[in-house]
Each structure stands twice: as structure tokens, then as C-alpha cells.
Amino acid sequence: MDKVIFINFGELWLRKGNKNRYISQLKHNLASLLQGESFSYINEHDRIILKPSNQESENKIIDKLGYLFGISKFGIAYRVEPKLQSIANASKELLSNSKYRKIKINAHRAFKGFDFNSMDIIKEVSKKAKEIGIEPSLHEFDGELFISVTKDNAYLYSYYKKGLGGLPVGTEGKAVILLSGGIDSPVAAWFAMKRGVVPIFLHAYQYSSIDLVLESKIPKIVEKLLPYANGFKLKTYYIPAYYFTLKVAKTDKLGKYEPVLFKAFLLRVAERIAKKEKANLIFTGESLGQVSSQTPLNIRASQEGIKLPVLRPLIGFDKEEIIDIAKKIDTYNLSINPYPDVCSINARNPSTAAKHEIIKKMLKEMEISKIVRETLKESIEK
């Protein structure tokens, strides 16, 4: 028996005529992710099979596959000839080294050209299991054996890891993602990558020096997300907030609309960057009703005049759900570190129902287009 690593595609099969493009991107991302590891490919049309050269590479590959978008599951399998007796004998050998007392046997014959079917496999393997004192069972069992038969090989495994799912990064183009220093926006970026998007981050800072920003947690958050980019470079635009903050104080004298105006400012900057980067979408970490700027009317007002689609993958999540994902992707501990985040502007009396006509008028009074131009002149790309 050959010990191999199997990778299943997941929803890529739903792409029909476009699936080859998605699978090609997945394989490209996989090669980037596994750069430096020692392995070879075994040709299969409906999955990816890797044969590591040594145990060290096997362990590292398994760890890295946990960062790969576009796959439904992966794990260690044993490869044998696609013959009924070979499968039965290999199953007996694997089960004899287990501690199972009752086993559920799952068989799938992907290639239909053999003179045996899935039920024949289950029947023969059940006989072998009984020979070594293991009882086959469909309902009460303490282990499972999975058998998948292709045209050229049969694969046996008793355990697998769930993949991240989604689409391969790079299949859905680029998007600008508003990145604050908080918990939500890195999670939104993760979901964007899960749907095949290459993120371009936009961060507005209050520091007087860009050097202080580059020494802060913001680049570290981007670095935490880098493994999920599967070989794509993560670019970040850093912009100063002071042109906006100087002007908004004169325009919004009552301090009611500052959070909405700030989001409108960011979306305009994001749209300009998107044009430069040939990106077609903008992502934010907003969750409906979580803070004053994220009420329905304020969301509408903040994107007054924005032509690109603004997507909010966290719109239906509560804070605890977002925190759980932030912990899973290891950005949470960085996000909760102190940071003078512009997005945490505390308006004196924030409106939760800004009328978009008022925001439109105030943006005009602020000469928002001029502020955006001046801000972009001082942007730094990293």
C-alpha cells in the first residue's frame, strides 16, 4: 500500500463549464502554498493526490492544507489496485492495526467500468472485518472506513480533515477591503478570500508618522492573513486621516454625523484605489446594527454616490460569532491590542438615522473630492 494525501475539490464541481479554470487556479495556489515541500503528484481527474517524499513533508503538507480555500476535505489515505480482493485485503490490514470494535464501511465507486459495485465492496470488506473480530454496523460504531475507487486506483482512509471550502483565491478577481484595527474587518477579509477574492487593504491612520503605523499591529494582522492568500501578495494602502478630521470638525459642528461621513470618505478612497488596481468590489466588516454607523439608514447614507458594489460578509453575524472566527484564524489577539483606530471615532451625539440627502450636502460642503485627492497623494503602499 502507498501512503498518500488526498484532496477533494468541494463546490468546484458546481462550476460546470468553468470548473477547469477553477481547478487550474486551485492547483496553482496549492503549488504556491507547498513551495519548498517534497512530494509528487498522482494523476486523478476528480481530486488531487500527493505522495510526500518523507514524513516531515507529509506533516507540513497536512498543516498547510488547512489554509487552502477551494477544498472540501483532505487527509492521509492508502492507495491500492482497484481490484475487489486488493481492496478487501488492504482493508483487513488497516483495520487490524486499529482499536475499532464496530466499524461503518463507506464505499464509493467513481469509475463505473468495473464488474463490482459499491455494495460488493462493502460485502467483501465486511467479511474481512469479521475475520479479525470487528463488527460492521450502520448505526452504532466507533470508527469508519472510507473506500473510494477511481479508474486507476482505490483509496482507503479512516479519518479526514474538513477543508475551508469556498473558491480558490484569485478566481473572482480583486477587491478593496477596509481594514481597521478592530476584530471585524480581518474576518471580513477572510470571507472575501474564501469566495475567491484577492484582497487589497485600505487602512486610515491617526499617527503623525507612517513609521509608527508600520510598527503597529496593522501589518501584523495582514501577515496573519497571508497564509490564506495561497501565494498572492497582500498589498496594503495606508492613508492619513488628518485631511478628513480637520474638515469634518468644521462641517459637522454638532458631531452627529462624523462616523457616517468618515465611512463615506473611506468608500470614496476605496473606489479610487479600486480603479487603479482594477478591482471590482469593496468589502467592509460591517454588521447590521452593531454600532451607530451600521444602521440601515446610515449604511445607505455612507455609500451615497458610490458606484462599485459594497459587500458586507458579516452583515448577519453577531459579535460573538465574529469573535469565534477571529480566534479561529488567529487575528483576535492582535485585534484587541490597544490602537488609536480612526474607525472608533466617538461622535458626541451620533445619529442612527442619517438622511442620505443631508450626508450628500455635507460631503459637498467638505469638498470631499478634494480631501480624497489630497489624502491619496500621501498614501503609502506596502
State pLDDT tens for residues 56-76. 999 999 999 999 999 999 999
Q: Are 359 and 261 in contact (CB under 8 A)?
A: yes
For residue 11, name the pLDDT band (cuts at 50, 70, 90): confident
Q: What's the pLDDT at 346? A: 54
pLDDT at 205 over 60: yes
Strand pairing category for 143-149 and 135-136: unpaired
Q: What's the pLDDT at 291? A: 86
Name the burial class of residue 176, with classes exposed (0-12), middle (13-18) and buried (19+) by CB atoms within 10 angstroms of its CB: buried
pLDDT at 3 over 90: yes
For residue 350, name the pLDDT band (cuts at 50, 70, 90): confident
Measure the CA–CA gap between 280 and 265, rounded to whole angstroms: 18
**Which residue spans within 225-273 are E strands per DSSP?**
235-240
Q: What is the CATH number of domain 2-162?
A: 3.30.2130.30
Give the mean pLDDT of 41-64: 95
Measure the CA–CA gap between 148 and 192, rounded to whole angstroms: 32
Residue range 174-381 in CATH 3.30.360.10: no
Cα–Cα nearest to 311, from 176, 136, 114: 176
Phi-psi region of 168 (alpha: psi -120 to 50; beta: other; left: phi over 0): beta
Give the mean pLDDT of 347-357: 82
Domain boundaries defined on the chain: 2-162, 174-381
Q: What's the pLDDT at 293? A: 84
Q: Judge if 2-162 and 174-381 fold alike in CATH terms.
A: no
For residue 110, name the pLDDT band (cuts at 50, 70, 90): confident
Give CA separation, 184 vs 116, 167, 290, 308, 310, in Å.
Answer: 52, 21, 11, 21, 16
Give the mean pLDDT of 170-192: 97
